[in-house]
Chain A
Amino acid sequence: MDLRQSVRIGLIELRSNKLGSFLTMLGVIFGVAAVIASVAIGAGAREQAMEQIAQLGITNIRVRPLVLEGQERVSADQQNPDGLSLVDVKAIAANCPFAHRIAPIREITATPRVAGRTINGTLLAVTPDYRFIVNFHPVRGRFIADLDMNAAEKVCVLGAEVAEDVFGDAVWETISGQWIQIGMDIFRVIGVMEDKRSVSTRASTISVRNINRDIYIPFSVAEKRLRGVNGESALTELIIDIRQRRDVRQAADLIGTILDRTHGGVRDFELVVPLDLLRQAQATQRRFNMVLAAIAAISLLVGGIGIMNIMLASVTQRTREIGIRRALGATRRDIQTQFLLEAVILSLVGGIIGIFAGVILGAIIAHYAGWNTVFSFKAIILSVLVAATVGVAAGLFPARRAAGLHPIEALRYE
């Protein structure tokens, strides 16, 4: 008997009991929809985490000052009143062979203005290495150079959004050489940074600023000429670039030891290692995937049992039909194929509906929760295969029972 005919017979059977078929498919529909939606959400979350981590730089180690409370603060003030400072930079450069570049960053608490108008931007004093460490480059003009550092030139480089706020869509030639007022000083614009899509931050450990709102000035200027502005020499952040990725963990430990010594044993800083965050994110993802697989397996199992149940009922209900077909020349194999095919059609149609339901569900969740979702072709193919397998597994026993019926018993059945 040809397959097309079997499929047709199966479809006629299933169509004659639409509600029953649909209810039977629900288990598979839910199972597949759950898998598709949660895989998409999981993949979206992972992609976002990876992007944030990548933005921090995978070979970077970041050191940030910690604000201490109570007794700890008292001893910190006695032992290491400067907090994170250039002393630390020198100590790391001298004692950590893994370090390739070190970028100290100091946030300046001053309001930038243009022609008396306040600009919404974060002022950061950085060294020329900064752009290599964070892989962030100017699209117009140039970045802060060693010459600017040595001469403590009052120049600045604007983030893409700041530049747009201030100058709109003016061409670079008119922007170049414009002046920005910071505190009591005037800075010349020498460059505009590339527009880097920054990922909105939800995971607090990985906090990533919107770097398109940064305004960079030479570190030496902040050190020598702006001491009066914030009154402190402390650093806001210290970024160390490690030569080899495999050394990152060891380097982090070494830097921790170095800083403990320079800070007199006071833990007034924290080390952020993106590579560790990445590993944590991956571990979390693995656990999430396992839970997901368990949920999917359970709902597909339940779906499979549902299909087996209705197929067994169908075999009983259609015993006479089986007898007639056997009398007319159907072999056991023909009967088995027919029932097996019906089970597979049920689960496959359920699977396909489930895929659509899952995509829609994922899109709805993404829309209302504002999460990223990434639908993978692989997950969809896998779902279809799993659904078909469930159909075969659930249909095999009823189909064998149907095929095993004796033609005469089946013909006599009322």
Chain B
Amino acid sequence: MNDRSANPLDKRVVHLRNITKIYRTDALDVPVLHAIDLTVERNEYAAIMGPSGSGKSTLMNILGVLDSPTHGEYFFEGWNIAHRDDFSLSRIRNDRIGFVFQNFSLLPRMTACENVQVPLIYAGVPVRERRRRAEAMLARVGLADRYRHRPGELSGGQKQRVALARALINGPSMILADEPTGNLDSQTSCEIMKLFDSLHADGQTIILVTHEDEIAAHARRTIVLRDGRIIDDRLR
């Protein structure tokens, strides 16, 4: 899985077929996703929308291989990965997917530069190259003067920039952003979204999960979920 491109003719980064997720509890089974079919191609900029409980978080977890579907097949860059083992899935998360979370999810005891390096650590990159790449990436998201700051010393917008730098550091096939502006004021939200837009302009595949129309408006495609089914999927 570590050769960068699986099939250069296949433009599909993500291809879900008949994906179903059922949460099993002691008493009953709770279906969350019903037979989802979804394809996201390279350099797409998509927003997944839906009210809470619609299953968009579960879909996001499955897309990010943090969770595995109960049924169905998930082709990631042409490879069926629906039922791979933990090690392979960890490698895919490390190498191919960049996560951005609503609450930033930085490690509080590490500096900005160290936070950005974490995916590189698990990728086995030597320490000097790690630092060089992390500093370059921080400069790219506009934090050249914040290498040594800890998350507690950064504003919300700065934290999200660090998180974005961390998501980009391994050159992922797609960025998965879960409510990336949920904890930010409107001014900062705007700046962060501009950053996403420019990444898309550079060719990055981006999938946003949001319930705000203004945020979704940045994307070129909107996928709406309700009760575990895709009820709308259109280009703007």
Contacts and interface: CB of A to CB of B under 8 A. Distances in A.
Interface of A: 1-2, 5, 12-13, 16, 320-321, 323-334, 407-408, 411
Interface stretch (B85-93, B131-139, B195-203): B85-93
A325 B118 contact: yes
Nearest to A321: B107
Contact of A1 (B106, B107, B109, B124): B124
A341 to B, nearest CB: 14
8 contacts: A321-B107, A324-B105, A324-B106, A326-B93, A327-B66, A328-B94, A328-B166, A334-B122
A1, A320, A327 pick with most chain B CB within 10 angstroms: A327
Interface string B162-186: 0000100010000000000000000
Interface residues of B, number: 27
B121 A1 contact: yes
Interface string B41-68: 0000000000000000000010010110
Interface in B99-132: 99, 101, 105-107, 109-110, 118-119, 121-124, 127
B77 interface: no
Contacts of A329: 90-91, 93-95, 119, 122-123, 170
Nearest to B93: A329
Contacts of B109: 12-13, 16
A411 B93 contact: no
> From DSSP, what is the main secondary structure of chain A's interface residues?
helix
Nearest to B119: A328
A126 to B, nearest CB: 77
A334 B90 CA distance: 10
A1, A5, A331, A332 pick with most chain B CB within 10 angstroms: A331
A407 B95 CA distance: 17
Nearest to A12: B109
B86 A332 contact: yes
A323 B64 CA distance: 13
Contact of B90 (A5, A323, A326): A326
Given A328-B94, A329-B94, A331-B90, A411 B121 contact: no
